[in-house]
Amino acid sequence: MTGRRFFIDTDTATDDAVALIMALRQPDIDVIGISIVAGNCSVEQATQNALYVRELVGSSVPVHVGADAPLIRALETADHIHGVDGMGDIGLPLHGRIPDSHRGVQAMIDAIMDHPGEVELITIGPLTNLALALKLEPGIVDAVKRVVVMGGAAVLPGNVTPLAEFNFWADPEAAHIVANSGLHFEMAGWDISMAHAVIDDELAAELQSLGELGGFAVGIQAVLREFCRENTDRDGFDLPDPLAMAIAIDPAMVTRESERFVDVIHGDGPARGMTIVHEHGAPGREPNCRVIYEVDRERFVALLRGAMQA
């Protein structure tokens, strides 16, 4: 296959699965590898989930197991959001599949360094694998073409604490390393998902009607949909990872953005994982982030529909 080269880093749960489908079914995208990181669920479960999605769409993209825990802290998953199996607990056979390697961090490094200036890296989980890759091979900073990160929140509140989004909170040390590595990244945060990527029941029913993939994409949101119904004022469920993937696929769907220096608070305490956007400049620091504030929802939904159609 020829076209744009994507490498995806994921803690595969319900919204990650939809994002993977979007990338794997995009005709001009060559997904050259997937690395798995612990986050929404254990790295073992996330690996099985990614392999299931790969099989579902008929892909042969290599899947590589990466970090099984944050850099310096115990793993805290989100099974109350995504289900114990990370895929809505709807009875899918999520076991027994064999990954291509257990070298997820090295696979990320190799993909980028073997194709300098060509690989677009999309991270839709905690940044543990990317932080480790940057420590092992700082040359990634100059060799990668583009990095799109689903993480953080330019506009508060967060989704796991009032100050933090889950992916940055889950491994704040990794997020801090990435932010201070010299890497330029694009931040598709929790805030834009809440503004532009909530799927109401009417749209969910439409997606389900599109065929097997649409039915799967909506069906696995069962635990998330119930959580939202009971604990939030959302009219439906949100899809932050698919929105980040849509921005990776179609950068022009962004309608408001700014170049800023972004940092992440590490350590413990109430500000753990908080995104710091230096709106008025950071003395001595050049902007390191395309901070995304608004997107065209209709373009996002159109990409989502297209990926789910039989």
Range with lowest mean pLDDT among 89-98, 112-121, 159-168, 224-233: 224-233
Sequence-ordered alpha helix ranges (H) in the chain: 14-24, 43-57, 79-82, 104-114, 128-136, 140-143, 166-170, 172-179, 190-196, 201-208, 212-219, 222-231, 240-249, 297-308
pLDDT value at 237 more than 90:
yes
Token pair in block for residue 33: 């590898």
Q: Report the mean per-residue pLDDT for the chain.
A: 97
Domain ranges of the chain: 4-308
The predicted pLDDT at position 235 comes to 83
Of 39, 9, 18, 25, which is closest to residue 123 (Cα–Cα)?
9
Strands 289-295 and 254-264, by their bridges, are: antiparallel
| Count of residues in the chain | 310
Helix/strand/coil for 198: strand
d(CA 271, CA 144): 30
Using CA atoms, how far apart are residues 34 and 50, in angstroms rounded to an integer?
8
Percent of the chain beyond pLDDT 70? 99
Looking at domain 4-308, its CATH class is alpha beta
Question: In the predicted model, is pLDDT for residue 106 greater than 60?
Answer: yes
pLDDT tens string 20-62: 999 999 999 999 999 999 999 999 999 999 999 999 999 999 9
Provide the pLDDT confidence category of residue 2 given band limits of 50, 70 and 90: low
pLDDT score of 233: 78
Distance between CA atoms of residues 139 and 183, nearest Å:
10
% residues pLDDT > 90 (the chain): 95
Q: What is the pLDDT of residues 136-184, one digit of tens each?
A: 999 999 999 999 999 999 999 999 999 999 999 999 999 999 999 999 9
